[in-house]
Each structure stands twice: as structure tokens, then as C-alpha cells.
Amino acid sequence: MNDFKDAAKAVITKNRFIAANVILICLLTSTVGLAFQQVIAVFSDDWHGAYYPFMAFVIALLSLLSRRANRHLPPFSGERIIRIIFEWVLILLSLKILVYLLNDPSRFLTDVWLWDDNFFKYFFPPDYIVAVVGALLFSLIASWLGEPIDQLEEDKELMDQEKLGFTVNDRTKARKQLIALIFGLGSLQLFITTLLISDIPSLPIKDFSETRLITALVLYFVLGFLLIALNQYNLQKARWYLSDYLVSPAIGQRWLIFCILLVVLISLLAIFLPTNYILGIFPAIKYLFNLLVYVYNFLVSLIFLPFLALIKLFGNSPSETPQLPESTQESPTPPQPLAPDLMPTSMPILDVIKSLLFWSVFILLIFFALRYYFRQRGELLGFLKKVTIAKWLTQFWQWVKRGFRKVTDFTTRTVKNGISALNERFSRKKPGLTLTDVVRSLSPRAGVIMSYRKFREWLGINKIPVREAQTPAEVARQIISTYEIPAVMVDPICELFCEARYTKHKISRTHYQQINNFIEQLKLILIEGDQAK
């Protein structure tokens, strides 16, 4: 119990989350910086922008720290504006120095003399302007991401005010805003990446690294997911605080660890899944179909092979068989397996399998996503159900499913029977007696008693709780009163059992059959009664 009240641990976890959020935003901005650098490299071949990811990291960090420092100031207060201006002057100057240091430090002395002639032309050369635009962009991205993060951050003072009703903080909206930002930026990056790596002839591609672009994209999404997960914790934490839950401090740490594990695991899985295809979707379907036909033909030919051999044997004994005309001598030939000849001979089988796997995974994932989406949107599903085509499609789908199930059941049953037959054939053990065999081998009296006992067990499990102490007559009354069925349906069972169990009357096989018939009829009625209820 003390574990819940470990305030020091809770503070440490809170600080860790703040630090993790800041680092993640900086890294996210870095990946944008990497992509930005690659995009610029497309248009300029002598451009040196290797420092952009690092610059993006620093600018994002500065932006976030400045945001935290100015948080208590009003949005448009003089002090805040002055701070921002000073900060940016400092950033731009540092950037200028950095550009000089990285490109050609000796150019600085030449440029200083030229500033007198035309300051804007020589102070703002194109590479510096790009760096400034980049810096502004990175700062903006960090600021955008920082806003919902600030709102989601665990602030006990604010939450206490919320508890008292003095203020409202819509954290869910902030989280949605964060997701929208991450996905929006990610989509843009994805679009640009796709555009650059696809072979579009009109693009003035100079020099860029495809691997770096893809790495930046993948890293961006990995970091984005981590950020979303960490802020889900912040959201939950606020909800728990507002609802007066005692929260175990271990949660924060585990959340952090498992977020990283989860995202890394998914990323690894995503990397190893097939991501390209040689066969398109329709050729792949056609290929698959041909493969199925091939397998079918092969199986049929296996079945017909013995018959073919027999017919050939008959055909080889000229004394017994009458000579048939030439035209009628053709023996039935089994269908020949057709090889799937769709793919070019040069296409390796591994690539074909990869393509098939790719399309299967792709279609399955889309199907799953759509299904889940429609399930979540009940009203949309309701509307679609009213549309006639959708109804037909549903019926068709049900029909396909039924058919598939039948085929599966049949195949399973056949295979099971085959396996059991083979087992029996090759096993040295004698097959054990089933309960039915045991009952059949009993005397009619014992059979009647056993049938009734089985029926009681069935009742106890499925229908009515039957106690051991209840007499057959009591059980019968209980069935009659519960299901409101005529006594003639139940009493014969009770009477037959009592006769077999407690009298010395002769019990024949007919009695045994009678009790079984009555029991079966009663079971059907009880099951129908339950369904009607």
C-alpha cells in the first residue's frame, strides 16, 4: 500500500516523462531536418546540409526550453516579445557562424567588406536563407508539437483547479491535435518521399540518398508513435488524478519501457514483412487460381492412375478382348496437370511467393482495418445495411462463408477419418470400447438404469440443477413445472426407471428402447423450450 504513496518516485517519473517528451520532439524535428536536407539536395548538387538534423535538434530544444521559460508570461506581453526577438537574433547569428564554419571560414573576412556595399545580398546568401527557413520551420514544428504536449503535461496545480471547477482543460482534444500534427507532418513527408523515390522524369534530381530519406521517414513514425504513447499516459494520469485514483508509481516506468519495446517490435516486424511485389494484384490472383487448378488436376490424376493401369492391362490381352475399331480404342486419359505458366520463366519462385504474401497481408490488413472502422461507426454500418447492394453483398459474403465452412468441415472430417482409419489399420492396439458399446453390452435392466442416469446428468449440466437426493418422481415434477409440458412426456421415463431399478419385473430390450426413445423426445422438447424462451 505504501507503494502508492511514494511521492518521490512519482516526481521522478513525472520528470522523466517531461524529459522524454522534449527529447522525442527534438528527435522528431531532427528527422524532419534530415528529410528537409534530402529535399534541398534534389535541387542543388553543391549544397552542404549534413548539419541540418543536428541544427533541427538544437533549434527544437531551444524552442521548447524558451516555451517553458515563457509559459508564465501573457502571450503578447512586451517581455515575451523581447525575449523571443533576442533569442532569434542569437539563433540567426549562431547559424551564420555555423554556415561559415562548415562551408568556408575564410569567406567571412571577404564577406565583411562586402556587407558595406549590399548588406542583404551578402549577409543573406541562398544557403544561409535556406538555413534560416529551415530553422524557422523546425522551430515552428517544435512549437506546434510542444503546445498539446504542454497541455497534456501533468500539472497538479492546474488539475486541483480543475477539480474545484475553476478551469477546464480538454486533454482529449489536445491529444487529438497532437495525433493530427504527427500524422499530418508524416503524410507530407511520406508524400515527398514517395515522389522523390519514384521515377518521375520531370524532377531535377541532383543528388540525394534514398536510404536516408526512408530512414528519416521510418524514424519519424517510430518517434511519433512513442510520443503518442507517452502522452496517452499523461492523459490517463490526469484522468486518474481527477477521479481520485491512487496510482502505482511503477506504471510510468513500465509504460515508458513497454512503449519502446512495442514500437521497436512493430518496426522490426514491419521491416521484415514483404514490402514490394513483382506480380500485380490481378496476376497474383490468376497465378493462385492456376496453382489451385494444378493441384486439383494432380490429385484427380492420382485417383485415376490405378484405373488407367487396369484398363491398360485389359487392353494388353488380345485373346479375351474383342478388337474394337480404331476410333473406339482410345482409353480415358486422366486430366493432365497444368503448370502455372503465367509468370515469365526468369521470375524466381521466391519473388512470386513474396508477391503472393505481400498481397495476402495487404488485403487482410485493409479488410481488418475497414471492418474495425465500420464496427466503431455504428451509424455508418446501419446506413450501409439499408443499401440494397450492400444487402446483396452481405448475402453473397454469407453464402461464400457458408460454402467455405462446409468445404472446411468436409475436408477436416475426411482427413480425420482417414487418419483414424490409418491409425486403426497400423496400430497394434485393439480399439477401446466406447460408452455406447458398453451400454449395448449391458443387460436391458442395467441399460435402462444407465440411460436414466445419463439423462439426469444431462439435465444437471444443461437444463435443471438436479440434486442427488431428488427422487425420480421429484425430478419429473420439476421438469413438468419448469417447462410446462404434459406429464405423459416425462412420467414414462420415471416409471420405466423405477420398474427397472426397484422391481423384479422382467425388463426386456423393448423397455430399453422405449426409455431411450422417450428420453430423446424429451431432450428435443426441452431444447426447443429453451430456444423459445
Partner 1 sequence: MLDYIPFIIILMLVAAFVNSDSVMTIFYMIIGIIILGLWWNRHAVKRIKVTRKLDDHAFLRQPSELTLEIKNTSLLPVIWLEIHESLPLNVRNTAIQNYVISLPPKGKQKLTYPLFPQKRGFYKIGPTSIASGDLMGIAHSAEIYFEPDDLTVYPHIVPLENLGLPSRSPFGSIRHKDPIFEDPSRIYGKRDYQVGDSLKRIDWKSSAAVGKLQVKKFEPSITMETLLILDLDIASFDIQKLYDHSELAITCAASVAYWCNARKMPVGLITNGLDPLNNNALPNQLVAQRGEGHVMLILEVLARVIAGKTTPLSAILSGAMARSSWGTTLLIITPQYSPSLLDQMLQAKSQGLNVVLMLIGFSPIISQVRSECHHYGFTFYNIQQLIDIEMAQGTKK
Largest CA distance in the chain: 131
Asked whether the CA dihedral 467, 471, 476, 480 is positive or negative, the reply is: negative
Which of residues 107, 254, 401, 416 is near partner 1 by CB under 8 A?
Answer: 254
Phi, psi of 488 (to 5 degrees): -65, -20
Which of residues 32, 59, 152, 263 is near partner 1 by CB under 8 A?
Answer: 263
383 binds partner 1 (CB under 8 A): no
| Distant-in-sequence, close-in-space partners of 74: CB < 8 Å, separation ≥ 6 | 80
177 binds partner 1 (CB under 8 A): no
Stretch that binds partner 1, among 186-194, 309-317, 435-443, 510-518 (CB under 8 A): 186-194
175 binds partner 1 (CB under 8 A): yes
Query: CA-to-CA distance for 385 and 402, rounded, in angstroms?
Result: 20
| Distant-in-sequence, close-in-space partners of 267: CB < 8 Å, separation ≥ 6 | 218, 222
Q: CA of 186: how far to CAs of 7, 84, 242, 506, in Å?
A: 38, 28, 33, 87
By C-beta, is 181 or 490 nearer to partner 1? 181
Query: CA-to-CA distance for 27 and 216, rounded, in angstroms?
Result: 10
**Which three cell numbers mark 230?**
507517452
309 binds partner 1 (CB under 8 A): no
* Cβ 168 vs Cβ 162: under 8 Å: yes
DSSP 202: T
By C-beta, is 82 or 257 nearer to partner 1? 257
179 binds partner 1 (CB under 8 A): yes
| Nearest approach, Cβ of residue 364 and partner 1 (Å) | 10
290 binds partner 1 (CB under 8 A): no
Which of residues 25, 213, 223, 493 is near partner 1 by CB under 8 A?
Answer: 213
187 binds partner 1 (CB under 8 A): yes
Which of residues 271, 309, 389, 488 is near partner 1 by CB under 8 A?
Answer: 271
Classify each residue of 357-386 as buried b or exposed e, where b means 16 or more C-beta atoms within 10 Å of its C-beta: ebbeeeeeeeeeeeeeeeeeeeeeeeeeee
**Which three cell numbers mark 132?**
534560416
DSSP 328: G
| Distant-in-sequence, close-in-space partners of 189: CB < 8 Å, separation ≥ 6 | 32, 35, 216, 217, 220
173 binds partner 1 (CB under 8 A): no
By C-beta, is 317 or 376 nearer to partner 1? 376
373 binds partner 1 (CB under 8 A): yes
| Nearest approach, Cβ of residue 483 and partner 1 (Å) | 21
| Nearest approach, Cβ of residue 221 and partner 1 (Å) | 5
214 binds partner 1 (CB under 8 A): yes
Stretch that binds partner 1, among 113-121, 243-251, 410-418, 477-485 (CB under 8 A): 243-251
User: Which of 33, 25, 28 has its CA nearest to residue 131?
Assistant: 33
Stretch that binds partner 1, among 89-97, 232-240, 400-408, 464-472 (CB under 8 A): 232-240
By C-beta, is 50 or 363 nearer to partner 1? 363
By C-beta, is 151 or 516 nearer to partner 1? 151
169 binds partner 1 (CB under 8 A): no
203 binds partner 1 (CB under 8 A): no
* Cβ 342 vs Cβ 294: under 8 Å: no
Classify each residue of 445-463 as buried b or exposed e, where b means 16 or more C-beta atoms within 10 Å of its C-beta: bbbbbbbbeebbeebeeeb
Phi, psi of 13 (to 5 degrees): -60, -40
36 binds partner 1 (CB under 8 A): no
| Nearest approach, Cβ of residue 254 and partner 1 (Å) | 5
- What is the total residue count of the chain? 533
235 binds partner 1 (CB under 8 A): yes
Which of residues 15, 77, 110, 248 is near partner 1 by CB under 8 A?
Answer: 248
65 binds partner 1 (CB under 8 A): no
269 binds partner 1 (CB under 8 A): yes
- In sequence order, what E strands does 365-508 have? none
Q: Which parts of this chain interact with partner 1 (CB under 8 A)?
A: 1, 4, 175-176, 179, 183, 186-187, 190, 193-194, 197-198, 213-214, 217-218, 221-222, 225, 228-229, 232-233, 235-236, 240, 243-248, 250-251, 254-255, 258-259, 262-263, 266-267, 269-271, 273, 275-277, 358, 361-362, 365-366, 368-370, 372-373, 376
